[in-house]
Amino acid sequence: MSRLGQLMKKVEANLGQRYALAYLALFTLVLGDTLFAESYISLNGPWLIWLSVAAITLAGSIYFLLRSDWLRVIRQIPIELVLLLALMIGSAPWSAYANDTVTSFGIQIGVTVIALFFVACFSWRQIHGIFANSVRIIIFGSFFIELIASTFKGSLSLFVPTSELAIREALAKSGHLFDGGRIQGLLGNANFTAAWALIGVITFAIEIAIKKERRWLSVMSLVASVSMIAIAQSAGVIFASAAVLVCAAVSLLAEGKDKVTRHRYYRVAWALAGVATFLVLVFRRPVFEFLGKSPDMTHRSDIWRKVLSLISQRPLEGWGFTGVWVPGARPLDGLIVIHGETYYQAHNAYLDIWLQLGAVGVILFAILLTRIFVKTWQLGVHHSNPLYLWPLLLLVTQLMRGITESRLLIQSAMLMLIIFAVKVYDPENLLEENSKKTKIRQLDKLRKKAS
């Protein structure tokens, strides 16, 4: 029996419980993203419920992790990730908000443990399936919420107490399914919903390629995800989608080629990406106006300018780790106020990590991301199964999203990052069979069958 078969047999007895815990963990982290996005930082009702569920999820993850091949998984953790986590808690002594640093580090360690649970207890195919079903719920749930909000717009708020201002504001933003406005979706945030829709496009496209049954559901989900990207109107996700398409094309073309040819493709791709980036920067006004956005991408240039000013005061050590900015944590609280609304992130993950952990932190983060990219690229290009393109394309999504959002540093995005960082080091005998047929040949065969 193969190593993969032995692992699956070992966990089979508790597989149902592990799946249930995995879904609970993923949705807990997604909900955590939403709560952070709405700035529910104080210990009110939503946060107390979230913390309780998170504690149960963490306890279950520790239990199943310890019953798995956890020593192997621990050995697979990249040293850069260990050092980055150490720096997060190590920044507490000089942090401007030490208590928040310790609390944020505790949440980050929880996310890390849950990620290790995924790595230890599930194969790549199973993790892909968990994400596929979860994204399906997010996408179709978002359409359902927007349909209800659009149909009964103006009347839903009558059932919400006037004290629940955040909920009333969320309802006011929703209900634009039929009028061309931006939709907020199940997660209450258009950019966040659009990002998950792009994850859905990647996940369901891979699902169509690797599954033999119920492809109609995968196709429906793919169409719904593409539609969600269009109506969520997120410029950042549109750019990320372009990057994902280029990455997918280059990786497919490079598979099966000799090293010289592969590297020629890579040089051409990087050159084209550089030219495209330059042109977007030079002609950003017409580009962003075409996308329905302001040239500064909704005040992001102003935000980045203020963040860089704060970075210049502590460029080496940073101000202390906090993930998202916590209300009351000076000097971050009140740093960004636009039209009376306070922002709690730098809207750029790379500036945010520099702001919080200084030059050492941003260098460690860059090395970690580079290593993960190289390893996921090698896995995606050198393995014939389309399944192994999934982590690479999701990673590209998160890296691009990090340019305009700081979510890469917390919750579900950090979960994916750590899963990929560790699981790419799974031994060969834990992977599915690698055939001589390239992905393009397999996809062409699938196309002929469908026609």
Residue range of the domain that includes 155: 3-450
Q: Could you tell me which residues come within 8 angstroms of residue 446 by beta carbon, excluding any fewer than 6 positions away? A: 208, 209
Phi, psi of 341 (to 5 degrees): -105, 130
Q: How many residues does the chain have?
A: 451
Number of domains, the chain? 1
pLDDT tens digits in sequence order for the chain, 451 residues long:
555 555 555 555 578 889 999 999 998 888 776 666 544 445 555 667 778 888 899 999 999 999 988 999 999 999 999 999 999 999 999 999 999 999 999 999 999 999 999 999 999 999 999 999 999 999 999 888 888 877 776 555 544 555 445 555 555 566 667 676 777 778 878 888 899 999 999 999 999 988 877 788 999 999 999 999 988 888 889 989 999 999 999 999 888 888 888 888 889 988 988 888 888 777 777 776 666 666 556 678 888 999 999 999 999 999 999 988 888 888 988 888 887 778 888 999 999 999 999 999 999 999 999 999 999 999 999 888 999 999 999 999 999 999 988 889 988 999 999 999 999 999 988 888 887 777 777 766 666 666 6
Please give the model's pTM, rounded to 2 decimal places.
0.89
Distance CA 199, CA 390 (A): 9
Tokens describing residue 352: 């945010």
- Token pair in block for residue 14: 């508790």
Which are the contacts of 331, defined by CB distance < 8 A and separation ≥ 6?
Answer: 96, 310, 319
Task: Determine if residue 410 is left, alpha or beta; phi over 0 gives left, psi from -120 to 50 gives alpha, anything else beta.
Answer: beta
CA angle 60, 84, 406 (to 5 degrees): 85
Local structure of residue 67 (DSSP, 8 states): T
Whole-number pLDDT of residue 45: 57
42 vs 29: CA distance, rounded Å:
17
* Inter-CA distances, 408 with 269, 357, 415, Å: 25, 15, 9
Residues 6+ apart with CB under 8 A from 423: 76, 118, 119, 124, 127, 391
Query: Helix or strand or coil: residue 337?
Result: strand
Structure tokens at 142: 């978002």
| Cis preceding-peptide flag for 46 (omega within 30 of 0) | no
Could you tell me the two tokens for 359? 């030059």
Per the CB < 8 A criterion, the answer to whether 251 and 380 are in contact is yes
Q: What per-residue confidence (pLDDT) applies to 394?
A: 97
